[in-house]
């Protein structure tokens, strides 16, 4: 895919803390991966569901992506 070590790529478990993801000006919950330069994100389906009984379903979203770091409480 893209440069996964850079600042533009974010994973839910990459160790950089909690972040808020904004896509086309709207806050989006359930983002597991995003690349701000490519403008793509992987988002868990709302009301978590599974078609195979093992993995949670997700869908891709494209747009202008901004990632904001949330401070620890």
Report DSSP letters for 1-47, one per residue.
Answer: ---TTSTTEEETTSSS--EEEEETTEEES-EEEEETTTTEEEEEPSS
Domain count, the chain: 1
The verdict on residue 1 lying in a domain is no
The verdict on residue 2 lying in a domain is no
| Structural domain of 34 | 9-69
The verdict on residue 18 lying in a domain is yes
Q: Which residues pair with 22 in a beta bridge?
A: 27, 66
The verdict on residue 3 lying in a domain is no
The verdict on residue 21 lying in a domain is yes
Output the pTM of the full model: 0.75
pLDDT in the model for residue 28: 93
Contacts of 3 (CB under 8 A, 6+ apart): 9
The verdict on residue 4 lying in a domain is no
58 vs 49, residue with greater confidence: 58
Q: How would you classify the pairing of strands 26-28 and 9-11?
A: unpaired
pLDDT in tens, 19-46: 999 999 999 999 999 999 999 999 987 7
């Amino acid at each position: 895919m893209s440069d996964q070590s850079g600042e533009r790529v974010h994973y839910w478990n990459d160790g950089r803390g909690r972040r808020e993801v904004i896509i086309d000006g709207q806050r989006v919950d359930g983002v597991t991966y995003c690349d701000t330069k490519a403008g793509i994100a992987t988002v868990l389906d709302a009301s978590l569901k599974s078609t195979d009984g093992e993995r949670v379903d997700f869908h891709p979203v494209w747009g202008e992506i901004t990632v904001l770091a949330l401070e620890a409480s």
